[in-house]
Structure 1
Amino acid sequence: MGDSTLDLGTVSGIQTYLSNTPFASDHITILSGGYSNFAYRIKLILPYDGRTTLVVKHSKSYVLAAGQKLPFDTIRQFFEVEALTRVKDVPSSKQLVTVPTVHRFDKQANVIIIDDCGEDALTLKKFMQDGRSNPSLSEEIGRALGEFIGNMHMWGRQNRPVLDLFETNEQGKTISAWATYGRLESTLTGKDDLPVLQDPPIDVSREQLEIIKTLSSERTLDMTSAREWFVMGDFWPGNILITLDNAGALKRIYILDWEVAKTGLPELDLGQFCAEMDLLRRFHPECAESAGKTISTFLGTYSELCRPDISFARRAITHWGVHLVAWVPRIPWGSKEDTRKTVEEGVSLLVEGYTGSDEWVKSSFVKDLC
């Protein structure tokens, strides 16, 4: 299928690439593209396995960050395909949560062809922001996601071949550690020169910075050396697609973008998801109740399935705080004042999560996990 002269970052390149395959298309829509991956919805000239549309994902060997091209090996597609294929085996009571089926993987061209989740599908983030949810539906979503990620963690824990394979995703481990714990100190000291945290500099005590340094070193080592748990690695509302039936009931939830799936710390899947849902309720008051319901049922369901101990809950709330610090000043969410308050609370969460009492953890945002 591959022609190395084609630019698969363009619609014309993709159309030519597909022309002599079972996936030939007469209409292509750009879904996303420009940073490291390009995604397209293709309308097939002839149905394929009963499908009239599919999604094509092409990866480049870089990621654009702050106007620079940083190396990002396309081996990540191999791990994504392996994850999408293997996670289909995760047990589920209702089969409500799933992943797209992979129909073709072209290693030479760095192309994956997968199921189209539907033109009406919305990311969970957009679904919440648009006010499409309600308390009952939010609880159902939280319960389904808590069951899925809990079952996945337990399934992976008992699956040595999966652990052995994903332990080799060194790029995934490194980028996840750098994007979170690796940026804490430079974010808070002003070294990263983030405008929202300047004029004046954010107030973080020397004692807090020392704790953060220790935490960052410890957790980075934990993340890069983890061997016993399989984790999704990028579990947030932007990678979760929601579809409803004609009556407005929850139809299916799809989990996307498994490029950094690896062996890691399961608490971090929970911390990332909850931190992002927390940001929705902080910066979008209209969906605060729905987001809160999703968080509580998500954690409660996970707790019922996996019975995590207090140390697990501690690491989850710590990572919740880490996510607020590392990501909020880099992604526009709201006013400078509100952003700074959120970062300051993130500092409190990660410091208390790391050093506070068990009683504090049990009364924190992750109380439903305890």
Structure 2
Amino acid sequence: MASASREEITSKVLENLKGTPYEASSLEALSGGTANFIYRATLLKPLQDGTKEVLIKHSEDYVANTPSFKLTLFRCHIEKECLKALSAFPIAREADESDPYNFAVRTPKFFHFDDANNTQVQEYLQNGLDLKTYALKTYAGSNSETTKHQCLQLGKALGRWLRGFHNWAAQQASLRTIVAGNKELQLLKHIINFTWLLDRIKQFPSILGDSEGVFQEIKNMAAAELNDESKLQVIHGDFWSGNILLPKDTIEEGAEVPMFVIDWETSQIGKPNLDLGQMIAELYELKLYKDILGGLWMVQGFVDGYGAVSEDFAFRTAIQVGAHLISFGTAVPGWGTPEQVENCARTGKEIIVHAWKRDRDWFEQGDLACLFSRTE
């Protein structure tokens, strides 16, 4: 059976909202995200709290941008339960009240979920932009001390939020039970991280070929981690700069800057290092591909904000960074030149190999020295 067109999906969503408090006078399709159909809805009547616009997230049993790629609808239930649970999680604000930047990190409010039609209603961030796009537009070519401080504080706010979330989620038994059922996307995450890692050897044989043995050991390690669920906990599962929203306006000193952590469909039980490693790798790619120092400054602030960790934890995070750089960082269309893609693969390999050897000295002389700056 052929998939419905986007126009048919939009009409269906509009129809399903009729007669609810979220009935919309119009839907505007939004860019961003690949798996779902995302809209800004202008409500026919404001909600009791005055809200006039909401975000509508509609899901089908396939990836919206690639209908041939089937995807479980259980992901909608996972996101609904995560957002409901996280409504009680505190907003992460600046640790130093004297700092001029005030980033307020939280999840969007959850309003409604239509189980029959897999349509979700969330808080809409006015003029929101994902952090990756914001950094590309704002921090390219900007190496001032002002930019550095802003990037460090932004990263620190994200790190503090993530550490708080990991600590909080580890105590949520009911949420863990729900999220532990997300087996299909847990397996997909493992494939992207570690099966693709070995597959990339065929793409870059002269760069990665001599590390096949190490890559296989790392894949085995990751598989063993999944088999011991007693050492896993609730994680976001897709924690990267594309899933952080902030206003597209210039960040001003003294003004509160809301930052939304979105897209909880991939939440699963796993190692917290998966969340850290993915975000660090994505921010680091801003430097590797676009020579944006702000990416590295955000990494430094992020690690600092996350706080003290063991040396074992730092090495496991480094392995995750390297795996993401190779598996995913080399596969983003149009991200860089062929030479830059090869450099990303080479950098990822060096990170993995030195982390596997527990070569702390190597890290402390390079870009990612911050990974070990707060080890216990």
**TM-score in terms of structure 2 length:** 0.85
1:122 is aligned to 129
Task: Note the C-alpha offset of 1:87.
Answer: 2.0
2:19 is aligned to 20
Task: Note the C-alpha offset of 1:351.
Answer: 1.6
Task: Note the C-alpha offset of 1:45.
Answer: 1.3
| Alignment equivalent of 1:276, drawn from 268, 279, 282 | 282
> Residue 129 of structure 2 aligns to which amino acid in structure 1?
L
Change in 2 beyond 3 A, CA 1:56/1:176: same
Task: Note the C-alpha offset of 1:70.
Answer: 2.6
The whole-number CA distance in structure 1 between the counterparts of 2:167 and 2:119 is: 31
Name stretches of at least 5 consecutive residues in structure 2 with no aligned partner: 94-102
Change in 2 beyond 3 A, CA 1:360/1:7: closer
2:197 is aligned to 184
2:271 is aligned to 265
Query: 3-state SS of the aligned residue for 1:104?
Result: strand
| Alignment equivalent of 1:174, drawn from 187, 200, 225 | 187
1:142 is aligned to 155
Task: Note the C-alpha offset of 1:224.
Answer: 5.6
Query: 3-state SS of the aligned residue for 1:147?
Result: helix
Query: 3-state SS of the aligned residue for 2:30?
Result: strand
Task: Note the C-alpha offset of 1:290.
Answer: 1.8
2:96 is aligned to none
Task: Note the C-alpha offset of 1:369.
Answer: 4.3
The whole-number CA distance in structure 2 between the counterparts of 1:215 and 1:44 is: 50
The whole-number CA distance in structure 1 between the counterparts of 2:328 and 2:117 is: 32
1:327 is aligned to 328
Query: 3-state SS of the aligned residue for 1:238?
Result: helix
Query: 3-state SS of the aligned residue for 2:264?
Result: coil
2:373 is aligned to 368
The whole-number CA distance in structure 2 between the counterparts of 1:329 and 1:295 is: 19
Change in 2 beyond 3 A, CA 1:109/1:146: same
Task: Note the C-alpha offset of 1:250.
Answer: 4.6
Change in 2 beyond 3 A, CA 1:313/1:269: same
The whole-number CA distance in structure 2 between the counterparts of 1:247 and 1:294 is: 15
Choose 41-50 or 95-104, whichever is displaced more: 95-104
Note if 1:231 corresponds to 2:235: yes
Name stretches of at least 5 consecutive residues in structure 1 with no aligned partner: 191-196
Change in 2 beyond 3 A, CA 1:93/1:6: closer
Task: Note the C-alpha offset of 1:210.
Answer: 0.9
Given that 2:208 and 2:345 are in contact with CA atoms closer than 8 Å, whether structure 1 keeps it comes out as no
The whole-number CA distance in structure 1 between the counterparts of 2:113 and 2:175 is: 19
Note if 1:298 corresponds to 2:310: no
Query: 3-state SS of the aligned residue for 1:112?
Result: strand
The whole-number CA distance in structure 1 between the counterparts of 2:166 and 2:175 is: 11
**TM-score in terms of structure 1 length:** 0.87
Q: Please identify runs of 4+ aligned residues in structure 1 that moved more than 6 A.
A: 5-8, 244-247
The whole-number CA distance in structure 2 between the counterparts of 1:43 and 1:250 is: 25
Query: 3-state SS of the aligned residue for 1:47?
Result: coil
Task: Note the C-alpha offset of 1:284.
Answer: 1.9
Choose 39-48 or 213-222, whichever is displaced more: 213-222
2:214 is aligned to 211
Query: 3-state SS of the aligned residue for 1:203?
Result: helix
The whole-number CA distance in structure 2 between the counterparts of 1:330 and 1:234 is: 16
Q: Deviations over 1:189-226 (max 9, x none)?
A: 24xxxxxx4xxx443344x1011011112113314644
The whole-number CA distance in structure 2 between the counterparts of 1:13 and 1:33 is: 21
The whole-number CA distance in structure 2 between the counterparts of 1:164 and 1:342 is: 37
Task: Note the C-alpha offset of 1:162.
Answer: 2.5
Task: Note the C-alpha offset of 1:62.
Answer: 1.7
Query: 3-state SS of the aligned residue for 1:130?
Result: helix
Given that 2:13 and 2:58 are in contact with CA atoms closer than 8 Å, whether structure 1 keeps it comes out as no
The whole-number CA distance in structure 1 between the counterparts of 2:42 and 2:237 is: 31
Q: Deviations over 1:134-191 (max 9, x none)?
A: 222212211110110000111122232222332222122111101111211112124x
Given that 1:325 and 1:347 are in contact with CA atoms closer than 8 Å, whether structure 2 keeps it comes out as yes
Task: Note the C-alpha offset of 1:76.
Answer: 0.4
Percent of aligned pairs with the same amino acid: 23
The whole-number CA distance in structure 2 between the counterparts of 1:205 and 1:34 is: 33
Task: Note the C-alpha offset of 1:64.
Answer: 6.5
1:194 is aligned to none
Query: 3-state SS of the aligned residue for 2:321?
Result: helix
Change in 2 beyond 3 A, CA 1:54/1:129: same
Given that 1:302 and 1:369 are in contact with CA atoms closer than 8 Å, whether structure 2 keeps it comes out as no
The whole-number CA distance in structure 2 between the counterparts of 1:85 and 1:105 is: 11
Given that 2:207 and 2:345 are in contact with CA atoms closer than 8 Å, whether structure 1 keeps it comes out as no
2:76 is aligned to 77
The whole-number CA distance in structure 2 between the counterparts of 1:9 and 1:295 is: 42
Choose 81-90 or 332-341, whichever is displaced more: 81-90
Task: Note the C-alpha offset of 1:234.
Answer: 0.5
Task: Note the C-alpha offset of 1:19.
Answer: 2.5
> Residue 62 of structure 1 aligns to which amino acid in structure 2?
Y
The whole-number CA distance in structure 2 between the counterparts of 1:80 and 1:255 is: 12
